[in-house]
Amino acid sequence: MTAAPPSPPTPKPAPGRSAGRNIVVVMLGTLGSRLSGIVRQLLINAFPVGLTDAFFLATRVPNTLRELLAEGALVNAFIPVYKSLDDAERRALARAFSGVLIAVNLILMALGILAAPQIASLLVPPGSRIDLELVVYMTRLLVPFLMLISLSAIAMGLLNADEHFRESSFAPVAFNIASIAVLLLVPHTATWLALGWLVGGFAQLLVQLPALNRFGLLPTPALVTHPAMRRVLKNMAPFTLTAGARQILNFYVQRLLSSGQYPQGTVTGYNNAETLFTLANGLFVVSPALAYFPRFSQHAAERDWAGFRALTLQALRLVTFLAAPTSALLFALSGQAVSIFNLSRTFDTAKFGAGSGILEGWALALVPWAINTILLRTFYARERVREAVTVSAVGFVAEVLMYRLLTPVFGYFGFGLATTVAGIGISVTLLAMYRRRLGFPLAPLLLHLLRVVPLAAVAGLVAWFVARFLPAPGLLLPGLIGLVVAGGAGGAVYLALALAFRLPELNGVLGRFRRRK
């Protein structure tokens, strides 16, 4: 089916809530989370670089399992099924699913602690400058984080499904604040660096419990069955397998970065770049996607495909309007951005070079991955998980293969360039599959991109030009000055151009924040 659909009705909002309000709430929560996360990352960077390299490798283990079983697979597989049930069946499903997830987590925790040496050896190749025994020790300390984050993900899924976004959106802020408190109050040792992570995970879970109780959503976990469990597990299975393949590829990347090919500090630089990229992606892409996802699921449950298509176009226009200037400014100011993690009077050349080079490449990937984030959720909402994750899996494999081809030529920039090329390929494929199944007004989206991308490029050029007259990046203060002055100039130019070209998304965003205020 390729014909453009008729003009769809306005998507039906949940009682007492608007989609715009939900987006603002999630974005504010994400902003608080990412900014406090930068403070946490800054404090971690004050530890010795050998310790931080080992720590970031060790966090890959619980973070891998977290994506397989918790935040990613759970939320995307659970909400569409949960939204299709009545209130009584929803409570029964939550009770059964939480019980099974806790049991699985207990088993994985035991295996993770026992197999820590084998896991660490996958991350640290022979001849590496990173202390293997330290990675093993910190891995064992961090494995229990999986249980905390899984329970937190259940809470987030239940609250988000009923469009109660405030508590779940601000829960990561509690994680960061608790971790920051530990990092400030205790000695700079491996033990306390890892325990700070666990304290943060407990805080993230704890702050969501009162809201679950207040809305009558707090489940009583039990090892019981429920008819809808099969649908949830069916949706989770391909997502989990694909996420697992992606995490295996991430293990490969971490092993590559920790090899003798790159200097000490490269792993920390990579994670600094990742923190900044996830800040931008989380605030301007993932936050709107989380707010839209229950609406997608509701339209799918009601078979309202006209409303589904309209919501898809609306979401894609919004996230690309926000992601395009962010991409251009990160590309132009990557050195200034990674400089904010340096509290000392000197800077580590390897850490700075890795962080700025990788971030510069990843910045280009922001727009295609914004499109992917929305499109993937339209597949999850229709419970067509296998199609979506198959495309993603092929894309991730191609991305890592391109690492081997591009990094020898482009250095650190090659990592981001590979991600960008893979993201474009996935976007084109998902759009074609969506259009064939449901029809899609492709022309309005392409026209929108032909407007916002050049405007964003102009903003990036302005920021780059202004930054040439400012102190060179590398230290905290020059980095902040560059981001505020040059970034502010570029952002102002984008807003002025958007206003001059009368882009409707600008009025929509400003209107939502005015109403929120």
Q: DSSP for 202-269?
A: HHHHHTTHHHHHHTT------S---TTHHHHHHHHHHHHHHHHHHHHHHHHHHHHHTSTTS-TTHHHH
Exposure b/e, 307-344, CB count within 10 A at least 16 = b: bbbbbbbbbbbbbbbbbbbbbbbbbbbbbbbbbbbbee
Phi, psi of 314 (to 5 degrees): -60, -45
Among residues 179, 148, 146, 371, the alpha carbon closest in space to that of 275 is found at 179
Q: Output the pLDDT for position 3.
A: 39
Return all residues near 332 (Cβ < 8 A) that are at least 6 apart. Answer: 460, 461, 463, 464, 467, 486, 490
Phi, psi of 317 (to 5 degrees): -65, -40
Token pair recorded at residue 436: 């064939």
Of all residues in the chain, the percent with pLDDT exceeding 90 is 27
Q: DSSP for 287-308?
A: HHHHHHHHHHHHHHHTT-HHHH
* Rounded-to-integer distance, Cα 61 and Cα 107, Å: 15
What pTM did the predictor assign?
0.71
Token pair recorded at residue 379: 């597949």
Q: Tens digits of per-residue pLDDT, 150-179?
A: 888 888 878 877 778 788 778 888 999 999
What is the CB neighbour count within 10 angstroms for residue 189? 11
Token pair recorded at residue 299: 């339209």
* Rounded-to-integer distance, Cα 204 and Cα 170, Å: 9
| Pair 99, 226: CB distance under 8 Å | no
For the purposes of burial, counting CB atoms within 10 Å of the CB of 485, is it exposed (0-12), middle (13-18) or buried (19 or more)? middle
Token pair recorded at residue 392: 């993603």
| Pair 288, 315: CB distance under 8 Å | yes
Asked if the model's pLDDT at residue 51 lies above 70, the reply is yes
Higher per-residue confidence, 363 vs 263? 363
What is the maximal distance between C-alpha atoms in the chain? 65
Question: Which whole number is the average pLDDT over 468-478?
Answer: 91
Q: Output the pLDDT for position 313.
A: 93
Q: Output the pLDDT for position 247.
A: 64
Token pair recorded at residue 246: 């992606």
Token pair recorded at residue 194: 């890892």
Q: Output the pLDDT for position 335.
A: 93
Q: Is the alpha carbon torsion for 500, 504, 505, 508 positive or negative?
A: positive
Q: Output the pLDDT for position 163.
A: 77
| Pair 323, 317: CB distance under 8 Å | no
DSSP letter for 344, please. S
What is the CB neighbour count within 10 angstroms for residue 2? 9
Q: Tens digits of per-residue pLDDT, 365-416?
A: 999 999 999 998 898 888 787 788 788 878 888 888 888 888 888 888 988 8
Higher per-residue confidence, 503 vs 461? 461
DSSP letter for 10, please. P
| Residue 5 CA neighbour count, 13 Å, CB half | 22
Q: Output the pLDDT for position 10.
A: 37
Higher per-residue confidence, 474 vs 162? 474
Asked if the model's pLDDT at residue 310 lies above 60, the reply is yes
Return all residues near 113 (Cβ < 8 A) that are at least 6 apart. Answer: 140, 143
